């Protein structure tokens, strides 16, 4: 994969505020996360635009392409070029010819006849698409592992330490600890970046637990499922749809994990007491 990228955007900046503490107002300085428009373009055509933190963009591109089902393997990406201008960042992704042609055909289909009442069906199918069943059945965690995963994620979130305004997603391997971590203002973006980092590193998604600093919605389950992680740990609660999806996919969902406390919502056999 060829990568063309000049990283000259900061992920955070210092701003001046007036802080009111203990009944006293005084000038203060606070670091805040940067948020810019990130466009993903395939074959020269824009596919999606989102607001995100301008860091780890190659991981973001790989993870987004995988979790959105645009590619099946990193080898299907030929090149990534990141172009910056005043309006934002365009992540230009070149795919191998057969995959790029399938994407072009999909776009043509989406631009077809209107007014039929069914034109949004592909988007709906993408939104509620099923999660591939996880294959790893050997991975287990202890209550100590769960507490360590959450604590390690909080401790190692460098951008959040400076800003207190970004989500984190980490990959925790029992016996090794947190082996990858990515941050972003968006929880989905942070998880996409993590998926890209884990896949690019060659680490098996089935060897560890995805740990996130957010609630668990259906999209978070889908992304963890694409990575192949059998365990998902979150500090907040899940949605009902996310629970049903995790149950169907064979994913152990551990949520409301704070300190030594947590709740297991699906497939508890992977937690060893």
The residues that are catalytic are 116
Query: Count of CB atoms within 10 A of residue 216's CB?
Result: 28
Give me 110's structure tokens.
């989406």
Question: How many whole angstroms separate alpha carbon 201 and alpha carbon 56?
Answer: 14
Cβ pair 192, 64 in contact under 8 A: yes
Cβ pair 196, 55 in contact under 8 A: no
Give me 36's structure tokens.
């810019």
For helices 187-201 and 218-227, angle between their N-to-C axes, nearest 10 degrees: 0
For helices 218-227 and 57-67, angle between their N-to-C axes, nearest 10 degrees: 100
Helices (H), the chain: 57-67, 97-110, 121-127, 143-156, 158-163, 187-201, 218-227, 240-249
Residues in the chain: 273
Cβ pair 56, 182 in contact under 8 A: yes
Question: How many whole angstroms separate alpha carbon 31 and alpha carbon 173?
Answer: 31
Q: Which residues, in sequence order, are CB contacts of 59 under 8 Å at separation 6+?
A: 182, 192, 193, 194, 195, 196, 197, 200
């Amino acid at each position: 994969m060829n990568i063309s990228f000049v990283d000259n955007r900061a992920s955070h900046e210092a701003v001046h505020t007036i802080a009111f503490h203990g009944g006293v107002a005084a000038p203060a300085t606070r670091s805040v996360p940067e948020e810019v428009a990130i466009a993903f373009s395939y074959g020269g055509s824009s596919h999606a635009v989102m607001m995100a933190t301008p860091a780890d963009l190659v991981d973001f591109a790989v993870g987004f392409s995988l979790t959105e089902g645009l590619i099946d393997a990193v080898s299907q990406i030929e090149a990534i070029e990141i172009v910056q201008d005043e309006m934002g960042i365009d992540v230009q992704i070149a795919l191998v010819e057969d995959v790029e042609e399938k994407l072009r055909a999909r776009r043509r289909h989406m631009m077809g006849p209107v007014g039929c009442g069914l034109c949004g069906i592909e988007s709906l199918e993408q939104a509620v698409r099923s999660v591939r069943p996880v294959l790893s059945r050997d991975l287990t965690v202890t209550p100590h592992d769960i507490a360590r995963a959450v604590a390690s994620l909080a401790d190692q979130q460098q951008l959040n330490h400076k800003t207190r305004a970004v989500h984190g997603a980490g990959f925790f391997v029992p016996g090794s600890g947190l082996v990858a971590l990515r941050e972003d203002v968006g929880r989905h973006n942070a998880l996409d970046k993590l998926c890209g980092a884990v896949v690019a590193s060659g680490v098996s998604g089935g060897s560890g637990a995805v740990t996130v600093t957010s609630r668990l919605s259906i999209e978070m389950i889908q992304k963890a499922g694409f990575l192949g992680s059998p365990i998902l740990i979150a500090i907040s609660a899940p949605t009902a749809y996310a629970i049903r999806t995790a149950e169907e996919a064979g994913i152990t969902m551990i949520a409301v994990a704070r300190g030594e406390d947590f709740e297991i919502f699906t497939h508890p056999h992977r937690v060893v007491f």
